[in-house]
Amino acid sequence: MKTLNLMKTVVILSLLAILSSCSKDDDEVKNKTAIKFKSINPTTKSADLKTVLTDGLALESFKINISEIEFEFDDDDPLFNDDNAVSDFELKGPFEVELMEDGNPLEVILVNNVELPAAAYDEIEFEFDKNKNQNSEMYGKTAIIKGSIDGTPFVFWSDNEVEMEIEFDELFNLEDAGNALLTVSFDLRALLNPAFGGVDITAATDGNQDGIIEIYTGDPDGNSNLANLIWKRMKYIIKAFEDQYDD
């Protein structure tokens, strides 16, 4: 359902998250946590309703593939130092996350009612990996971004595999009671808008003149250097923060 900001909430029902840990004590207090992914974009729209990041550059879609999410305890938390301490918590994917569709940024509830120990966490780690679903547009790819440059369609994709560690601005605390919503945001302005430190791809060319500007390692259009810059910039666009919520 679209919000007033043209943002959608999409619940991914086809993916199963398996929560794994090495807990020695199953009686520790746990809290239910939901994890939401969202993309951050300007609200400027072109005539065809695509999101405009900068002059000549409009975005249409953005997808990523994550194989695992890991919550890391704060070293000073009593649970971490206790004899019955549990290990860091892992959510097993894969998670195919759609962050933009038809030019509209999306909010995605990735997993819901995850039971985490009541503790403090200082970091969250993502494993970006190639998609293994042969029926998916993302098969063999880790990230895909589509849009247009001066009216010519472009596609960026990467098959790089990497672990990205994101530190919380403040400790992510789960108290003895209450639920929490962990929001992970992807700022596309910081990826592709030079005014926000992003990569300027407006100079990318359609080298083979097939009507599509291709941007990936070894692409036939000569844009490999831009593809490498985009991927290197990816880790700088992700932030995570916590909000309380009610059932």
Confidence band (pLDDT; 50, 70, 90) for 178? Answer: low
Confidence band (pLDDT; 50, 70, 90) for 120? Answer: confident
Residue 100 gets which letter from DSSP?
E
What length does the chain have? 247
Q: In terms of Cα–Cα distance, which of 196, 5, 239 is closest to 104?
A: 5
How far apart (Å, rounded) are the C-alpha atoms in residues 133 and 131?
A: 6
Q: Where are the domains of the chain?
A: 8-140+148-245
Higher pLDDT, 122 or 82: 122
The sign one gets for the Cα dihedral 165, 64, 57, 213 is positive
pLDDT at residue 1 tops 60: no
Which run of H or of E encompasses 224? helix 224-233
Higher pLDDT, 183 or 148: 148
**Which ranges in the chain belong to alpha helices (H)?**
78-81, 189-192, 224-233
The type of residue at 98 is E
The type of residue at 55 is D
Q: Mean of the per-residue pLDDT values for the chain?
A: 77
Per the structure block, which two tokens stand in for 5?
């900001």
Residue 42: the pLDDT is: 57
Per the structure block, which two tokens stand in for 22?
């090495």
Residue 142: the pLDDT is: 96
